Amino acid sequence: AGARFSHEKAKTRMIILEKGKGESNYNNNAVFNAFIPRASIAWLPNEQNRIWFGVGRGFKPGGFNKEGVDKLALTSYKSEIATEMELGWKWHSVNDNHMAEITLYQIDSKDVQGYVGVIGYQALSNMGDSRSRGIEYLWKSKLTPNHSISLGGMFNQSEFTSGEHKNKRPAYTPSYSSLISWEGLYGKEQKWSSRIAVRFNGPFYFNEQNNLEQGHYTVVDASISWHPTKQYELSIYAKNIGDALYRTYAFGNKAQLGNPREIGVQGSINF
Per-10-residue mean pLDDT of the chain, 271 residues long, equals 90 78 80 92 96 95 77 80 97 95 97 83 87 98 95 97 94 96 92 96 94 95 93 94 94 90 94 82
CB atoms within 10 A of CB 158: 20
Nearest to 269 by CA among 245, 234, 239, 237: 234
Contact 169, 211 (CB under 8 A): no
Nearest to 99 by CA among 154, 46, 54, 137: 137
Please tell me whether residue 81 adopts helix, strand or coil conformation: strand
Tell me the sheet residues that pair with 200.
178, 218
Residue 66's contacts (CB-CB under 8 Å, 6 or more residues apart) are: none
Nearest to 130 by CA among 88, 80, 177: 80
- In the structure, how many helices (H) and strands (E) does the chain have? 0, 18
User: How much is the pLDDT for 25?
Assistant: 79
Give the C-alpha separation, 183 to 176, whole Å.
Answer: 24
Give the C-alpha separation, 191 to 177, whole Å.
Answer: 33
Largest CA distance in the chain: 84
Nearest to 128 by CA among 19, 208, 186, 47: 208
Q: How are beta strands 130-144 and 98-110 bridged, if at all?
A: antiparallel
User: How much is the pLDDT for 26?
Assistant: 79
pTM: 0.84
Q: What DSSP state is assigned to residue 187?
A: S
Give the C-alpha separation, 68 to 169, whole Å.
Answer: 29
- Virtual CA dihedral for 106, 116, 63, 132, nearest 10 degrees? 0
User: How much is the pLDDT for 223?
Assistant: 97
